[in-house]
């Protein structure tokens, strides 16, 4: 290698090093800014710069989480904030989607331990046996015009989305399930709104049915079917 070639190589490596340094520095500063905005939003109960927060948190989620921990926030606070933020951003598009192009995905852990329903290729088929609150709420959702699935995992969700191609979905589940569902909806171009369970666990969990119904009625001035908005929910 000639002296001239070596000099060019050194200059190139120097440029690459400088670009890498400033890129890392820029990412770190952006993550700090996002963490401060997220912390302020959570503390004050108001969203600040949501259109910057969403893509920023998607790109720099790990860094933002680490910095938020230093600022006194735990993962649950941050994930809850993320879900609320995404739900708020997706509300308008969800409300504008016709109900026949919407679907609801419920986790199978909501059912009673004595549930007689059997698993099918499209998830559990509720028998509305009265052992839990799933049956009456599935009936309500279906009368309102929704396609409802009770599923054991994300594989079923992906399969049903691919088969029926809804444009908007309501995902019900624990905190991480809801976040993962919203992320999945974003990746595949579906408007997703999540409703976190009122009680988590592995069996006999409890959904926030009032929250589910509130979301389900978005954009629907005259829900179809004999819908009882005042029926009891657990």
Residue 221 lies in a domain: no
The answer to whether residues 162 and 200 belong to one domain is: yes
- The β-bridge relationship of strands 102-107 and 168-173 is parallel
Tell me, yes or no, whether 206 and 104 share the same domain: yes
Same domain, residue pair 103 and 37: no
Q: Which residue range forms the structural domain that includes residue 204? A: 93-216
* 99 and 211 together in one domain: yes
DSSP 80-135: HHHHHHHHHHHHHHHHTS-GGGEEEEEEGGGS-TT----EETTEE-----SSSSHH
Q: Could you tell me if 54 and 22 are in contact, meaning their C-beta atoms sit under 8 angstroms apart?
A: no
Residues in the chain, pLDDT under 70: 1-5, 42, 45, 222-234
Residue 115 forms part of a structural domain: yes
Q: Which residues contact 184 (CB under 8 A, 6 or more apart)?
A: 154, 157, 158, 190, 192
Residue 182: both structure tokens together? 């919203």
| Residue 181 placed within a domain | yes
Residue 162 lies in a domain: yes
* Residues 47-99 pLDDT 10s: 777 777 777 777 777 777 777 777 777 778 888 888 988 898 899 999 999 99
Indicate if 24 and 60 belong to the same structural domain: yes
Query: Do residues 120 and 185 share a domain?
Result: yes
In a domain, 128, yes or no: yes
Calpha distance 234→232 (Å, rounded): 7
Total count of domains within the chain = 2
Query: For tokens 């589940």, what's the residue?
Result: 173
* 100 occurs within a structural domain: yes
33 and 97 both lie in a single domain? no
Q: List beta partners, residue 108.
A: none
Whether residues 44 and 151 fall in one domain: no
Q: What was the pLDDT predicted at 4?
A: 55
* pLDDT at residue 141, as a whole number: 96
């Amino acid at each position: 290698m000639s002296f001239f070639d070596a000099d060019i190589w050194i200059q190139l490596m120097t440029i690459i090093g400088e670009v890498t340094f400033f890129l890392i520095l820029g990412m770190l500063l952006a993550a700090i800014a996002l963490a401060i905005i997220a912390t302020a939003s959570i503390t004050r109960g108001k969203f600040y710069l949501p259109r910057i927060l969403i893509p920023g948190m998607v790109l720099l989620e790990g860094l933002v989480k680490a910095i938020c921990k230093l600022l006194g926030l735990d993962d649950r606070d941050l994930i809850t904030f993320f879900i609320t933020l995404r739900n708020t951003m997706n509300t308008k598009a969800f409300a504008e989607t016709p109900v026949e192009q919407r679907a609801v995905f419920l986790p199978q852990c909501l059912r009673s331990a004595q549930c007689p329903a059997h698993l099918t290729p499209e998830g559990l088929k509720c028998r509305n046996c009265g052992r839990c609150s799933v049956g009456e709420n599935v009936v309500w959702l279906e009368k309102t015009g929704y396609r409802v699935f009770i599923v054991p995992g994300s594989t079923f969700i992906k399969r049903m989305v691919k088969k029926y191609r809804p444009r908007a979905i309501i995902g019900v589940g624990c905190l991480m399930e809801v976040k993962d569902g919203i992320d999945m909806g974003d990746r595949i171009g579906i408007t997703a709104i999540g409703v976190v369970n009122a009680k988590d666990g592995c069996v006999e969990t409890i959904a926030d049915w009032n929250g589910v119904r509130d979301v389900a009625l978005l954009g629907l001035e005259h829900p179809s079917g004999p819908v009882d908005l005042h029926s009891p929910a657990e």
